[in-house]
Structure 1
Amino acid sequence: MSDRTDAATLPEALRPAIEKYRDEADETRRIPAQLLDQLRAAGAFRLNAPRESGGFELPLASVLELYERLGRIDGPVAWVIWNLNWGFSAAFLPESGFARIGPDALIANSGQPGRLVHDGADYRLSGAWRIVSGVESADWVALAAIVFDGDRPKLTDAGPDVRIVWVPRSAVTVRDTWDVVGMRGTNSDTVVAEDLAVPADLVVPFAVPPRIDRPAYRVPLVHLVFPGCAAVVLGVARAAVDEVTALAGRKVGMDGVPLAEQPRLQAALGRATAEVGAARALLFECARGLDRAAEAGAPATDAQRGELRGAISYAAETARSVLTAMYEAGSSDPLYASSRLGRIFRDGMAAAQHANMSAAHYELAGRTRLGLPPNALIV
């Protein structure tokens, strides 16, 4: 499973199964067990796991490319694969903590902060985390939490003391709150923990240095997570272009002229292809910059990290533009519940709402471009 050539073939190898079950996933609002088994067996959840744990240990840019290609097949499935790809936990948790989880666990995550308090040498966790994608498919959950000292957050030089906390899926309550019109198949429900005891070796700060000091894990932990959603949404945007291209070959406009022969549609497809291609190139190049720094053993600079955050926001902005243009180009087709283009549009627009891709992050990109401190805990 550690052969990178095999990893590169995953999207096409999994395409038949993904296409077979994507309607069922939309109806049931979760990945069907049969599809989950095939994804798991193929190693789709071990893209960034260490080689000694049976993972591919891919660099960030390679992982993002796979997410994007999977998103082009189906956004919800790619989204769950992204959110459950926490095999890098082995590189950041203490050895004893990772032994509790094991190399085969699927780990869903949420960046919404809960409350964490010391309980002797260990901790107690409380909170509600909304939109935890793929949680019913997960064995564990990794949840962000702020350490509190009494009624006040504990502060560090960088701001509140934010930690990542790993807990078994069986130890939390999952509330069925995912009643939506886009990305339905992601099972993005709410996780609740009430004064849950957590061993100290399952709690690490966001800025924890890797225990496994190799290039794949020298990239800041937060950037092993954040850009994946942007790659998926760009894949969904490309899927919309693909669908309109296919539609244009069989649909005739009100004037009796095939859509494929209409200059307006030709221009829309040309512009959309260029826009999504530019956003992909920017996102991947920023990721490769972090990979190159990691390979050289150098820390990522604030400017590099800020550029990546800007590229993530730009991906969402571009995807919305492309999805809207393709919806319009599809004429009446996307109005129907049976329309593949309509579902792609709904999935893509829902995905682009993720907080990781907010336009607010352009401020981080601008501050670091100006040489100013990021003015944020996570950049």
Structure 2
Amino acid sequence: MSTVLKQSVERVIPTEAELVERARAMIPMLRERAAEVEKNRSVPADIIAQFKEAGFFRILQPRRWGGYEMNPAVFFKVLMELGRGCCSSAWNMMILGIHTWEFGHLDPRACEDVWGQDDSVIIASSYAPFGTYKRVEGGYIINGRWPTSSGTDHGQWAFLGQMLLDEEGKPVDRLSILVPRTDYTILDDWHVFGLAGTGSKSVVVKDAFVPDYRTHSLADYTMSDRGNMYLYPFSQIFYAAVSSAINGMAQGAVDLFIEQMQTRRDTTGGAKTSLSPYVKDRLGNAVARVRSSRARILHMMHETTQYAERRELVPLDDRVPAMLDIARVGRESEEAVMLLFKALSARGIYLDNPLQRILRDVIAAANHITQNADDTAGTLGGYLLGQPLPPLFYSRDPLPGQAAA
């Protein structure tokens, strides 16, 4: 029996090792059902229920609202395991599960609205600011269509992105706006070649009122009385969660490649394919990319956790390079899986070979905005050379050294 903590509701908090092992134990089941998930274009409710039962949705949830309030690195490690089994299921767990961390930044009234009666309620999202808004007394009237809301069928609320403009139409802030399921409809427009099982449909809102207390700034990064585990920048935690799921997908490809190559023989001479120096070279280089990506994510969390535990904000000199640490994971995972796929020859293209699905899923995942290593590398290079940072990403206000527009 592990050492446990008990909350007022007598909920047992598992250890990090227990949570990771629960995720690892699900890999065979997730592998077996990955084709079903893709075919249905949605993760079945019973898989989400298993994730709930395992406690994955509570890892980042504030203790006040029934959660474990653990270090985000624990959540990342769970995603790295789930990704080895089913890419789309891991992606849903990542997107739907990261939102409980966001509640550590919200007005308690918003938490009460969502979790006052049931602290297991799931929240979906679409952060791209595609909607429109009208400022009214006490809040906003919002309208619009927000695409790619992964796992949205399982959500009873949703965070939606909104760019705030000044009187001249200039962006002045990026908001996350929380709306109940009764205020939006779901448009089934998710027809894609990769991550098809994530059910990333569009959310459509018409004339919904959102009170101010159910909004918060995604750009603001200042000190408050929020708990230590919520003192990281929003972008670091959300983006790194995406990268963690992708890293797990790439590791899943490595797992399958090893299994397939242990029995395969060369069709021209009958020799074991695993004896080929090229097969071994590709595998070794793929593993190096997966391991280095994982190490970078966890090292970044180790470094920034030291600030959080001292109740300090993460300095800009750490935040800017951390975003490149995160963004390169998609590229390196894509490279790793492609290295393996090219050694499969014609066997790799059959739909009953799960490696082709992982390849498609990783390519799709690496196209996520969080994995934009090109612009992120340029941002870091420019920052090191004394140039301005992109507005409304690292701060709501102009940073030192930036010229106010």
Q: How high is the TM-score relative to the length of structure 1?
A: 0.93
> CA 1:88–1:290 in structure 2 vs 1: closer, same or farther (change >3 Å)?
same
What is the rounded CA distance, in whole Å, between the counterparts of 2:223 and 2:100 in structure 1?
A: 13
| Number of the residue aligned with 2:123 | 107
| Residue among 367, 371, 376 paired with 2:382 | 367
| Residue among 250, 260, 267 paired with 1:247 | 260
Aligned residue type for 2:120? D
Contact 1:2 1:51 in 2 (8 A): no
> CA 1:228–1:61 in structure 2 vs 1: closer, same or farther (change >3 Å)?
same
SS in 2 for 1:152: coil
| Number of the residue aligned with 1:236 | 249
> CA 1:240–1:14 in structure 2 vs 1: closer, same or farther (change >3 Å)?
closer
Contact 1:92 1:209 in 2 (8 A): no
| Number of the residue aligned with 1:78 | 90
Larger mean CA deviation between 335-344 and 103-112 belongs to 103-112
The reply to whether residue 321 of structure 1 matches residue 361 of structure 2 is no
The reply to whether residue 356 of structure 1 matches residue 367 of structure 2 is no
| Number of the residue aligned with 1:215 | 228
What is the rounded CA distance, in whole Å, between the counterparts of 1:188 and 1:281 in structure 2?
A: 29
The reply to whether residue 185 of structure 1 matches residue 197 of structure 2 is yes
**Paired residues for 1:279-298 under 5 Å:** 279-298=293-312
SS in 2 for 1:161: strand
**Paired residues for 1:190-201 under 5 Å:** 190-201=202-213
* Cα shift at 1:139: 1.1
| Number of the residue aligned with 2:41 | 29
| Number of the residue aligned with 2:155 | 138
* Cα shift at 1:364: 2.4
Contact 2:37 2:44 in 1 (8 A): yes
* Cα shift at 1:61: 2.3
> CA 1:334–1:223 in structure 2 vs 1: closer, same or farther (change >3 Å)?
same
The reply to whether residue 331 of structure 1 matches residue 345 of structure 2 is yes
> CA 1:52–1:21 in structure 2 vs 1: closer, same or farther (change >3 Å)?
farther
The reply to whether residue 2 of structure 1 matches residue 24 of structure 2 is no
| Residue among 268, 276, 280 paired with 2:290 | 276
Superposed CA offset, 1:53-99 (max 9, x none):
22222212222222112112221111111100111233211111111
Q: How high is the TM-score relative to the length of structure 2?
A: 0.87
| Number of the residue aligned with 1:93 | 106
> CA 1:13–1:242 in structure 2 vs 1: closer, same or farther (change >3 Å)?
closer
SS in 2 for 1:257: coil
* Cα shift at 1:195: 2.5
> CA 1:170–1:151 in structure 2 vs 1: closer, same or farther (change >3 Å)?
farther
What is the rounded CA distance, in whole Å, between the counterparts of 1:66 and 1:33 in structure 2?
A: 19
In the alignment, structure 2 segments of 5+ residues that lack a partner are: 1-11, 395-405
> CA 1:252–1:20 in structure 2 vs 1: closer, same or farther (change >3 Å)?
closer
SS in 2 for 1:9: helix
> CA 1:193–1:291 in structure 2 vs 1: closer, same or farther (change >3 Å)?
same
> CA 1:111–1:335 in structure 2 vs 1: closer, same or farther (change >3 Å)?
same
SS in 1 for 2:127: strand
Larger mean CA deviation between 63-72 and 175-184 belongs to 63-72
* Cα shift at 1:20: 4.4
Contact 2:56 2:75 in 1 (8 A): no
SS in 2 for 1:225: helix
Contact 2:33 2:86 in 1 (8 A): no
In the alignment, structure 1 segments of 5+ residues that lack a partner are: none
> CA 1:211–1:10 in structure 2 vs 1: closer, same or farther (change >3 Å)?
farther
- Matched positions, count: 374
Aligned residue type for 2:127? G
Q: For the aligned residues, what is the CA RMSD?
A: 1.9
Runs of 4+ in 1 over 4 A off after TM superposition: 208-212
> CA 1:263–1:71 in structure 2 vs 1: closer, same or farther (change >3 Å)?
same
Contact 1:122 1:200 in 2 (8 A): yes
Superposed CA offset, 1:125-148 (max 9, x none):
122211111111111110110124
Contact 1:234 1:276 in 2 (8 A): yes
| Number of the residue aligned with 2:401 | none
Contact 2:34 2:85 in 1 (8 A): no
What is the rounded CA distance, in whole Å, between the counterparts of 1:16 and 1:335 in structure 2?
A: 22
